[in-house]
């Protein structure tokens, strides 16, 4: 299982490869879910199949280095002591 905000071009490429292998992914986002949020088709199908978990904050965080460093730190905390989880950052 991969856990990451998948921000950089390289991270996004790793996510694409992992999805092709039907890997499980935890995606961290800086954008809060709007009311009645439903992921786009690609993510919706992966979520409904139990292959993707999207974690978002209650309120959107501004895009930028500080926010993305915080998201990477959260990814590291999620992976701490969890067998089978790999951090992509």
Q: Is the pLDDT of residue 20 over 70?
A: yes
User: What integer is the mean pLDDT of 9-14?
Assistant: 96
Note the pTM of the prediction, 2 decimals.
0.87
Strand order from edge to edge, sheet including 2-4? 52-55, 25-28, 2-4, 86-87
Beta strands, E only, 24-89? 25-28, 52-55, 86-87
- pLDDT tens-digit readout, 31-89: 999 999 999 999 999 999 999 999 999 999 999 999 999 999 989 888 876 666 666 65
Three-state DSSP class for residue 78: helix
The token pair that represents 70 in the structure block? 């915080």
Distances (CA, A) of 68 to 17, 53, 65, 79, 84: 22, 18, 5, 17, 23
């Amino acid at each position: 299982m991969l856990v990451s905000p998948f921000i950089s071009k390289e991270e996004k490429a790793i996510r694409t490869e992992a999805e092709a292998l039907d890997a499980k992914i935890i995606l961290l986002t800086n954008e809060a879910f709007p009311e009645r949020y439903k992921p786009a088709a690609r993510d919706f199908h992966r979520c409904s199949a139990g292959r993707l978990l999207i974690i978002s904050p209650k309120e959107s965080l501004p895009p930028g280095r500080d926010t993305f460093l915080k998201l990477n730190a959260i990814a590291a905390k999620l992976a701490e002591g969890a067998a089978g989880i790999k951090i992509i950052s």
